[in-house]
A and B are shown apart, each in its own frame.
Chain A
């Protein structure tokens, strides 16, 4: 989806933050948020891709509040989808924890998705041969997905060169929506910065790992 998360190449975010050696959690709630998010897929009967997609669906103003906030809300959205909790329950509980005597809303109806898993992790195999080889020129599809995808906007319709074959993997665009693992071949594609950002761009190489359905041959 063309959401707030797809920030590659966007302008206006300002100076990069300072490099620091700060520990992973600045405050205790952040550690707790991390764990709830890390366990959320298991609790909801979903998967990593569904979790990423839930974070993508966090409303933009909340997304930009900060990392652990969006991680936490993403976990909650996924648990709402699976009928583990409702937003009303979370808000009522928050009010009660703050000392306000509000009624507890009813429990949700369980709604865990049904999708067969091919096992742990995301590396899989596929019987069909690779459509592309190292050295091939490929063009990225110009069409964006309305659901989850790992194709960032900034490389759509751009042409690059395959520089490596990566392991076949669960296709995020399918698995995030519980439409099956649908494993796909994956390629490292290298782009010249000028292909992406025009003739005045800084000269550099940029590479991404792109799934076969995102790519078209250049003839």
Chain B
């Protein structure tokens, strides 16, 4: 046995805790598997990409999305934990939005799934509220000086998703083709949607 302050290998801690909880009838293997599968396969940035592609091709949907993100996103069937109230932020040629949670890792699960590791990293969380232009540059996004940056720190249950600008030269793209251009990074605001 180890003392209470000694670091326990996380994989071993999980096994120990899971075994105690299973013994007490508090979790079961099937539930665990279902949860993991859901967030590995069904709930992820492909949902948000569909929302963005629809907003790019349907002006009325875009208006509804910007007026009431939660309702417009639910029209496509996306709702659930960490999506009680979603606000959609529209990037334009002159305003660029970027989202963070400095206190933990709040993130709009129904449209983006679970947050990527960089979003949860102290380097991103600490710096993007202090030097966002420099942080975006490190990520490979060099914005013109004339672009105004808005950083949103997710400090309540409101969740934010960025509506990126539609890339030029995509006039003939179908909605499905457009969705393929929309990345998770663009919907957090650390990248732009682009033709690969």
Contacts and interface: CB of A to CB of B under 8 A. Distances in A.
B36 A34 contact: yes
Nearest to A5: B103
Contact of B125 (A8, A76, A93): A8
A88 B20 CA distance: 12
B4 A24 contact: no
Interface in B89-134: 102-105, 113-114, 116-118, 120-134
Given A17-B123, A19-B185, A94-B13, A34 B20 contact: no
B194 interface: no
B103 A150 contact: yes
Contacts of B124: 16-17
Interface string B153-196: 11111100000000000000000000000001100001100000
A72 B16 contact: no
B7 A24 contact: no
Given A6-B103, A90-B13, A91-B2, A16 B121 contact: yes
A36 B18 contact: yes
Interface string A1-34: 0000111111101111111111111110101111
Contacts, number: 242
Given A9-B126, A11-B126, A19-B191, A122 B84 contact: yes
A206 B36 contact: no
Contacts of A11: 126-127, 130
17 contacts: A5-B104, A7-B125, A8-B153, A15-B123, A19-B118, A36-B18, A39-B31, A61-B7, A68-B10, A76-B13, A85-B21, A88-B4, A122-B84, A170-B157, A202-B131, A207-B151, A207-B152
A39 B12 CA distance: 19
A19 B150 contact: no
B44 to A, nearest CB: 8
Nearest to A97: B15
B85 A17 contact: no
- A contacts with B: majority SS: mixed
Which interface class (under 10, 10 to 19, 20 to 34, 35 or more) fits B? Answer: 35 or more
A73 B157 CA distance: 23
A10 B126 contact: yes
B19 A87 contact: no
Interface of A: 5-11, 13-27, 29, 31-36, 38-39, 43, 52, 55, 59, 61-62, 64-69, 72-73, 75-76, 79, 84-85, 87-95, 97-98, 100, 102, 121-123, 150-152, 154, 166-167, 169-170, 186, 188, 196-197, 201-202, 204-211
Interface string B73-84: 000000001001
Most buried by A among B16, B24, B140: B16
A67 B148 CA distance: 31
B19 to A, nearest CB: 6
A160 B11 CA distance: 44
Contact of A204 (B84, B126, B151): B151
Contacts of B150: 204-207
A43 B26 contact: yes
